[in-house]
Structure 1
Amino acid sequence: MRKVFLIASLLFLTGTLKLTAQELIVTTPDTVKIIAPPVMDSSFYLKSILGIMSEPGDGGARVTLSQSAGVERAVNAHLQAAGSRKLNGYRVRIFFDNKQNARSRSQEVMNGFLSRYNSVRAYWNHESPFFKVTVGDFRTKSEAMRLLREISSEYPSAFVVRESINFPPL
C-alpha cells in the first residue's frame, strides 16, 4: 500500500499525473489547473429533443420518431422543471444601500437602467436591511466586466458579484 502511495506521490510531484475523471490536470510540480466542466449549450435550453429531431433538416430530410406517450410526457415534465433551474454566474451590482429612502431610490435606479439598457435583465432584491439592484446574467466574469466597463460612467460604484443566475438569453 505504501508503494502505491509513494508512486502516486512521485507522479503527482513530477507533473505527470492526470486525473481527467475528476477534471484535475497537473502540468508542473508547483502548478495545478482545475478545468471546469463544459457549459450547457443554451441553444437547446427549454427545447425538446423530440421536437428538434422531427424538424426538417437542411436538405429537407425529416426524421420520424415512434415512442410511447409516456416518453414525451417525461421529456416535457423535465423541460418544465428546467425552467426554474439556476446556475452559478456573475451579475453587476449597480445599487446597494440601507438608508431610509433606499427602497424608492433602488426602484428609480432599476427603472433608469432598464430605460437605457432594455436588453439586459435587471433584478431588485431586498435582504434586510439592504436594497440591491443587480443586472445581467453572465456565465463568465469577463462578460460581466465588459458590461461594467460600459456602464461605469453612469454607475461609478457598480461592481461584479457572483450569484445564482438565470440561463442567459441566446
Structure 2
Amino acid sequence: MKIFIATILMVATLAARAQTIENYSIKLGLPAPESGARVVAREDATSRRATSFDAPRQERVAGFRVCIFVDNSQSARSAATATQSQVVELFPSIPVYVSYPNPDWKVTAGDCLTRAEATVLLGRLRPVFPKAFIVNDMIPLSAFIKAKPEELPE
C-alpha cells in the first residue's frame, strides 16, 4: 500500500512539474509591462522528445566487444582517451567506446553480434594491444544498420 501511495505521489509531482514548465514558457511569451519586450522560446524537437515520458528507447541486443583498456588509477581517464585516440588512428573503421563504470575507465572496440566476429577483431587488435580480451556487452541495434532508412528498399 505504501508503494502504491508513493507511486501516485511521484506521478502527481511529475505531472505538476510538467505543467509549471509549460506555464513558465507561456509567461515568457507575454510582453513585459515596462518595455513591451517579448521572449520567443523555440524548443528543439529532440529536447521535447528527450524530456517526454514516451521518448523512444534505443533497442539494444546482446553482443560482444573487445576490451583493450581497463584502469582505475588517478591518470586512468587521460590514459583511456589516449588509448581511444590510438585505436582511432590505427583502426579508423572500428568503432571505439570509452566508458566509466565506476571505479574503472574502460576502452572497448567493435560492435560484434557473435563471439566468432569478436575473435576475429581480437586477432586484429592483439598485435597492438596484447592484453585485449572479449567482453559481453549490450549493443545498440542502430550500430548494425549500415543503410539510411531512406535508402532501404520498400
TM-score scaled by structure 1?
0.50
Within the candidate set 142, 146, 151, 2:116 is matched to 142
Question: After the TM superposition, which segments of 4 or more aligned residues of structure 1 sit over 4 Å from their partners?
Answer: none
**1:35 aligned partner:** none
**2:50 aligned partner:** none
**1:106 aligned partner:** 80
How far, CA to CA, are the matches of 1:119 and 1:150 in structure 2? 12
Q: Structure 1: where are the runs of 5+ without partners?
A: 1-79
Higher strand residue share: 1
Letter in 1 for 2:76: A
**1:19 aligned partner:** none
Q: Deviations over 1:71-95 (max 9, x none)?
A: xxxxxxxxx947x211100000010
How far, CA to CA, are the matches of 2:75 and 2:108 in structure 1? 18
**1:160 aligned partner:** 134
Q: CA deviation at 1:166?
A: 2.2
Matched ranges for 1:72-111 at <5 A: 81=56, 84-111=58-85
Larger relative contact order, structure 1 or 2 (CA cutoff 8 Å, min sep 6): 2
Letter in 2 for 1:107: T
Q: Structure 2: where are the runs of 5+ without partners?
A: 1-54, 147-154
Q: Identify which range, 139-148 or 111-120, moves more after superposition.
A: 111-120
